[in-house]
Each structure stands twice: as structure tokens, then as C-alpha cells.
Amino acid sequence: MTAVAVAVALVVTLSPSSAAASDTLPWEGVAAKGANQPYQHGYTSADLLRWTPESDLFGDMTRARVPLQPRVAPLKATQADPKLDPAVQQLTLAGDYGNAFFESYPYNNEFSAYLFNYWQYTDYYAAWHGMPTEGVPEELYDPKLDWRQKWFEFGMLNLPNSGYTNAAHKNGVKSLGCIFFSENDRGTQTYTEMLVQDENGDYPVARKLVELARWYGFDGYFINQEEPFVAVPDLPRYKAFLKVLRDSGLYVQFYDSVDTITGLRVYQNEFNSQNSPFVRDPELGDVSDSMFLNYWWNKAKLTLSRDHARLRGLDPRRVVFAGLEAGAFQFDQPYNLDDNLDANGVPMNGIATLGADFVHSDMADKENDAKQWQAYDRERRWWTGSSTGGADDTAYWKGISSYITERSTISGTTFDTTFNTGHGLEYVEKGAVSNPAEWSNINIQDHPVTWQWNISAPGDGTPVLGVDYDYGPRYTRAGRFSYQQVGAYEGGSSLVLTGDLAADNYLKLYRTNLSVTDKSKLGITYRKVSADDASQLRAAVTFADDPHTVVHLPIEASGARTVGWTKASLDLSMYAGRTIVTLGLVVAAGPATIEDYQLNVGRMTLTDGESHVPPTPTGFHIRAALTGTDELELGWNLDDYDTVAEYAVYDNGMYLGGIYDDVLYVKRFTGQKGTLELRAVGHDGSVSEPAIIRYDFRRAPGDVKATAAADGSVTVTWPKAAPGARVRLESAYSGTRTVREVTSTDATSATLTGVPTTGGHYLVTVSHGNATPVSYRGEFADTHVEAYPTALVTVTGNVFRFRTPWTADWYKLHVKEDGVAKMFATTYSSGAKPYIIRGRTTLAALTVIMDRLDSEVTVTIEDYAGNTTTTVVRPALAERLSEGGLRVP
């Protein structure tokens, strides 16, 4: 599991012999976090009640904007296993790129990040990634400590990575956030805070969860309620809470962990009357969409689960998900998915996996670029059961594709792929390196090849060509390959076919639903690396009206070695009116075996004869030029996804990055003068004319710096004289938005007054003449902390029940009796502390028995900045008597 420090509790609780997984660590070197790099954070219930889109520091830069794409209708004739039922659904609960806790980025400059490449076998991708709440100082994170020693707060909610959501939506997969409660992993956070109701009986946290999902562009929540119990009176309220989410159009999956009668944490390991009311309640109706079954199931339990779902009028293929601990047991599973098969060999229930990102996260030296081929082999084995000859192959594992059919969103009259998996050791355009730096950006990942790999040759025992992604000369390929590494034609990778060609090889690539017109053409860009021979490259298609017949479309003279990349165009007009349901390639052999054959395919494009070139983007501008930290934030107006597949940004012709969004963060930007270009890319690969920004930082005031003071002022300085420079400050995170503007009088500095002194972030921009404005991001001074409210303490005799503050501004609560600190137990039995520490004190420890009835009890609240305020919760007896008018001897 990626975020072990917060994720491992689920496995430890539920599995008898969990394997220890490796922790994630911050990226280092050039891949280290930029000073202002956008990242996501976690949320408590209190955070949600305060939340607005403007309140998140990076709330406008970490949104998913690709709409959920419809999938093509199933067609059994195209399935790798026609007997499988396409209605059987799959949920993947896993990490994303493999970032550490403060590094949930939409993209980064690091090749060795994990890029999920099997969207075609999943219907829901739920985020399993611990996220600290906003405001947690990063210096509290010590990567060297054991995962049980992370002394800061994780939110009960973590969002799905926005880049992963965009990739999921492109492939018709719903993206889910994760809500998680347990007695250890979230400290004092508890479900009761989430179920708070207003005066009308509504659930404000649920409404905020809906609003949050809409803003960040994801589709629902996986809810893992694993505290020891839910109070019986709260059970109907919990279901009503779920129903608010579901009735709002969100997808909700609930974990098999709560007994609907007793409220106790009990794992049924099947779908039955004890847990099914969390999906369909007899009184409330449907309160969620599905359930993730705990892992200790067997054939009998899964059969009963199917039968119970049908009895309740539910489809078990879509409602009951047989859970599998991927991260804990990997390829040596104690759970056999064959137990989920009926007499016809078809799954009775859906399938869910926890921690399938183990294929990367549990690798030794996983941050090493030279080891990434191992992750690809492991991932391919997990999803397809394919044998690669590696150490993992000793375990029996059939692969998820043995139970789940292939899915696809490739439809319409156009299609374009450059076999881009979403990362590279360089970025290439039209066969030439545009940017030599490594990168990872799942936002621009192409549709994954549907079958990885389905290659065949006639006759038993006839060897087939090897298939791989070629990432170029700097890539370390698997030892079984010896091909010449030429890299991408466009993006980060190309498809390579290599080996001894003894017979015609058929490589089935994509499941599609592409309509052919009388102007349709199929373009293939390829590079024949090996010597001239008698082979021939052919496109291979099957049509909906005859899906069992593979139609070959030859490319003339394709057996000749090429100098660089070559483009072929195949006329499809003779097939007008028909629908392509699979798209692939055939490499036809000559009369004798061709040794060491190699051909790279860099692009495949279907066009329909019409122009789909997007319009030139509008509103292109620099949001913030953070020259002091070599960062750049850009913005523009977003066109509909039907028109634009993604946007690409260039600096003096060099590729900087791409995304479907109206913002882009650029890391390591060091340009001094030049031209920024923004181009819109169509779904057929066409590219718009550029929108242009000309910049010149040589004439700018230089790198801006700013310092906030406790008196409510911010002093801004810059190195180059700029008489009359305009200085604008606006809050980037504040309860109320703050804007201040002044004109510099001394040419190298300016002071703005009347700004907040309660923390939060600001952006200051200095403009001078016609020079490009330069900006700086900083934090306001924090000189204040709100007092701890006495209303948060319930006193019964000498028993004090404390609740943690709902304000964002606190770190510790020092509870003292007559000046002596009380001790509080911490999660994971990590020892008692002389204070309540945010995120680590146990919920049970909040109940304290004082030593005496006549003692004074105080609470001192301390925030992350070190500010403190003391509240007297119970005065000493003498003071109480004096206030009552009684004389004290």
C-alpha cells in the first residue's frame, strides 16, 4: 500500500497475516517538491464545514476537468474470454503516483512515479492515500520514522488525485474519494462529527461532501467505517447520511464492517441481512450503491451473497464486491477468485482489490528509473496473468482479466494514440526531443492498449514477437529484450515489436466502436529499425457486422528499413457505413524466418475527412511568475472537452507540459526572455494555432521577496530599481479575501498595511512599466489563537469529557489540574503525552477523571505558530465559593 502510515490499519485489522509494505518517501533532487507546487490535502469533518472552493490554497489548481466518458456497448465476440459477463464490475482501491504524504501532485518531473495502465479492467478507482490536513507544517514529517510515528493529523477524507481522475474519466472509470475512521489512524476524529445535523435535520457535512466532489470533479466516495462500533441510535442516522450522498448523484460504496443490528465492528465476509441494509434499507430504501466485502469469504459465502442480493432485488454483479487484499498477499493470494465463479465459470459478484499499486510501491528501489521495467512486468502480471519469467511467476495467479471483461471509451469517427503511458525520460514531438527532462503526467496518458499483450501466430508452438513500450536510449528495458531503443514519436514512448519473425503475427490492440465514413483514413507512423526484409506491416481491423473476420490493410514497402519515422495513410472509404470494433496490427512474415526483426509504431490516427482542429485558445495569461523559486503559473479559458482533448504549453518551442484544464503549474522555469505558446489539441491529434505571450524578465524588477510582520504589515522588496512600481497583494487562503495595492516610493521596496495576522497565504505581484510582472507567495504572520471554548467540555462530577476544537487553528491542548499536566494516550500505543496532540491522541483518552473535586482545571490551546491562550474550565473551589458569596476561611 502506498500510504502505509494511514492505510495499513485496514489490512492489519482485517487480515490474519498481513505483509509489511514499504513506506513512501519524498522525492529528492530535481524531483523534490517545488516551493509552491500545488498538492492536495486531507479534511476533517470540521474542515468540511468551513470549506469553500476559495478556502483551499490550491483549490483552483488541483481540479479534475475531464468529464466522465461513456463506454462502448459490450460485444462478446471481441472479448478475450467470450463466456465472461460484461456486467460484472470491478473496484480498485489503491494509491496513485506513489507520492509521500505532502506530495499528492497532479504531475511532476519524475519518471519513476507509478502510472496506472489498466483502466480497461476497472469501473471505479478509489483513492487509498493518506493526506495531512491543511496547515500541518511539513517539518513535522520525518520520513525516517516508522509509519506509526507520524506525529501529525491525517484527514478522515482524502481526495482522489486530480490527474488520476482525469485519466479515469477518459476511460469511463468513476473516481472516488476515501472516508476512513478507525481507533488509531485518525486520532480523535470520529463518525459522530460527520453525522452532525442542523436544525432542519439535514446533514451539513454530507452537503459539503457533495459540493467538494462537484468542485474537484470526482464521482463519489468509498466509506470505510472501522471504529469499534457505531452507537445503535446512530445507525439510522448513518444510513440517512449515506442516502444524502447517493440521492445527490454521487456513487457510494460502503465497507463490510458494521453490524446493522448491534453497530459493532463485525466483518460478515458475505452480503447478508446483517450488512445489506447499508445498501438497501427496508425503511429508507437505497442508501448506497454497493458494498466491499471483507476478505474471509469462500465459495459458500459468495454464493449466499449472490442469492441474498437477488432476494433484495439487487444485481450482485454491480452491488456486491468480493474484496481481495492485493497489497498484503500480492501474487500469493489466500483468497481464490475462482470461488466467485458459478457453474458456468462466470463471476457471481463484483470484484474489489485493495492495494493493487503494490506492483510499484512494494518494489525495492522503486524510485530508481532503471527498475521501472519491473513495475511494468508486475502490473501486467497482476491484471492479465501474463508470465514474464520473473520471480513473481512462481506464484499461481490468473490475473484480473480472467474475471473482468475489457472496457473501452474509444468511439465516434476519429481516434488518435501515440502509445503514451503518461511518463517519459524525455518529451518528444514528431520524432525530435522537445524537452530532455523526465516527467510524469497521467493527465495526458493515451487510452491504454486494451490487450497487453494479445499477440498470436498460426500453428502450435510458433514463437511470436515480443511487445514492449520503448522509452528511448536512457531507458533500462527488461533483460529478455534486446531491441534498439529509439523512444517516442510523440510523448514519452512508442510501441516496439521485436524478435524472430517466423510467421504472420497478429497483435490485437484496441477495443473500439469507430464509425467509418467515405472519407475515413487510418494513419500509421512507424519506424523500421531492422534491415530490409520480406515482411509487411498491415493494419488489422474487425467490424461489428463480422467481428470474427480480421481485415488486413497492407502498407506497401513496409519491409524496408526506414531512416527515422515514416507515415503511411490507408484509405478506408470502401468500408464506409461499417463500424470498427477492434483495431490492431499484423506483421506478415516472408518465406523464411527473419531474425532480429524490429519495428516501432509511434502513432495511429483515424480521421474522417472533416476538420476537427480546435480554435486558438483565448485568455492565455501568466497568473504568477515566481522567478525567485523558478516556478510559473499559467491560465487560459477552457473550451469544451468535445472540442479539445488537452492543451500543450511551450517556451520558445520547448514543451513545458500539458493538461485538460485552464491552469498549468510549471516547475523549474528559468526563461528570461521569449515566447510562451498555448496550443489546443483535438481528439484526432490535430493542433490549433497558438495563443502567445511574450515575456521579458530582464527588464522586470527582479526576484521579489516579502516578509510579513506581527503588526499587520508586509514588506516587499526587489533588487532592481523600479520607481513607481505597482505592488498588489491578495490573499490566497483566508476566511475573507484581502486585496491591498500600493505604489513604491523608494524604487526597491514597498510596505502594505492592514493585512491579516492570523496566518494564511498571500500572493504579491510587482509590476513596472512594460516589463513582465513578477510574483512571490508567502504566509501572513500568525499572532493569535482562539481560546478553547468551555462548551466543548462535558463535566459529570469529576469526569471531564473534552472535545477537540472545530477551528482550523490548533495543534495541542494542554489540560492541567492545579497546574499539573494531565497525560493522554496516543494512537498505536505510542506512549502518553502531557497534552492532547492533534491527530494522535486517542478518542478514549479525551475522557479524564480529575484527582480532586476542589481543583482548578485549565485548558491551554497552542497553535502551530506557538501562540497560546488559556481557558479556565473549572475554577478552584475557593474561587467558586467566593463567587457564590461565601466566605472562605
Interval 352-407: pLDDT, tens: 999 999 999 999 889 999 999 999 999 999 999 987 776 666 678 999 999 999 99
Q: How far is CA 29 from CA 3, 439, 756, in A?
A: 21, 14, 35
788's CB contacts (< 8 A; 6+ apart) are: 805, 813, 859, 860, 861, 869, 871
Is residue 813 within 8 Å of residue 836, measured between CB atoms?
A: yes
Q: In angstroms, what CA-CA distances link 853 with 213, 492, 800?
A: 49, 71, 11
Q: How far apart, in whole angstroms, are the C-alpha atoms of residue 695 and residue 700? A: 10
Question: Coil, strand or helix: which one is 356?
Answer: coil
Phi, psi of 322 (to 5 degrees): -70, 115
Say which amino acid occupies 145: L
Helices and strands per DSSP (H, E), number in the chain: 12, 49
Q: Cα separations (Å) of 159 from 22, 42, 219, 241, 374?
A: 22, 7, 11, 19, 28
Contact status, residue 387 vs residue 51, Cβ threshold 8 Å:
no
* Secondary structure letter of residue 560 according to DSSP: S
Cα angle 487, 596, 429 (rounded to 5 degrees) comes to: 15
Element (H, E) at 821: strand 820-821
Whole-number Å distance between alpha carbons of 870 and 421: 55
Give the span between the Cα atoms of 230 and 451, in whole angstroms.
Answer: 44
Task: Classify residue 16 by burial, with Cβ atoms within 10 Å: 0-12, 13-18, 19+.
Answer: exposed
CA 215 – CA 79 distance, rounded (Å)? 36
- CB atoms under 10 Å from CB of 12, counted, come to 14
Residue 212 vs residues 158, 209, 245, 446: alpha-carbon distances, Å: 11, 5, 11, 27
Compute and round to an integer the Cα radius of gyration of the chain.
30
Mention every residue, 6+ apart, whose C-beta is less than 8 A from residue 565. Answer: 430, 431, 489, 525, 526, 527, 602
Q: CA-to-CA distance for 874 and 855, rounded, in angstroms?
A: 8
Q: How many Cα atoms sit within 13 Å of 885 on the Cβ side? A: 0
560: Cα separation from own chain's centroid: 44
Which residue in the block uniquely carries the three cell numbers 472537452? 641
Residue for grid cell 470533479: 217
Instruction: Give CA separation, 705 vs 58, 714, 755, 757, 775, in Å.
Output: 21, 10, 17, 18, 8
- The answer to whether 351 touches 121, Cβ cutoff 8 Å, is no
| C-alpha 755: how far from chain center | 35
Q: What is the pLDDT of residue 885?
A: 52
B/e letters for 800-829, b = 16+ CB within 10 Å, e = fewer, are bebbbbbebbbbbbbbbbeeeebebbbbbe
CB atoms within 10 A of CB 410: 23
Are the C-beta atoms of 509 and 583 separated by less than 8 Å? yes
Separation of alpha carbons 35 and 28, rounded Å: 13
pLDDT digits (tens, 9 = 90+) for 192-202: 999 999 999 99
User: What stretch of H or E contains 546?
Assistant: strand 546-554
Q: Is 186 exposed, middle or buried (0-12, 13-18, 19+ CB in 10 A)?
A: buried
Predicted model pTM = 0.95
Which contacts qualify for 879-885: CB closer than 8 Å, 24 or more apart? none
Beta bridge partners of 225: 181
Backbone angles phi, psi at 366, to 5 degrees: -70, -15
pLDDT at 886: 45
Measured between alpha carbons, how far is 445 from 67 in angstroms, rounded to an integer?
15
Cell match 483565448: residue?
A: 618
Q: What angle do CA 673, 623, 782 make, to 5 degrees?
A: 120
CA distances, 492 to each of 117, 438, 445, 649, 737 (Å): 14, 9, 10, 16, 41
pLDDT at 145: 86
Give the HSE-up count for residue 203: Cα atoms under 13 Å, Cβ half-sphere. Answer: 25
Q: State residue 460's pLDDT score.
A: 79
Ranges of the chain with pLDDT below 70? 1-23, 390-394, 732-736, 883-889
Per the CB < 8 A criterion, the answer to whether 778 and 730 are in contact is no
Strand partners, 518: none
Q: Are residues 109 and 439 in contact, defined by beta-carbon separation less than 8 angstroms?
A: yes
Element (H, E) at 244: helix 235-247
C-alpha cell at position 102:
505532502
Tell me the three cell numbers of residue 327. 497489497
Task: Map residue 372 onto helix, strand or coil.
Answer: helix
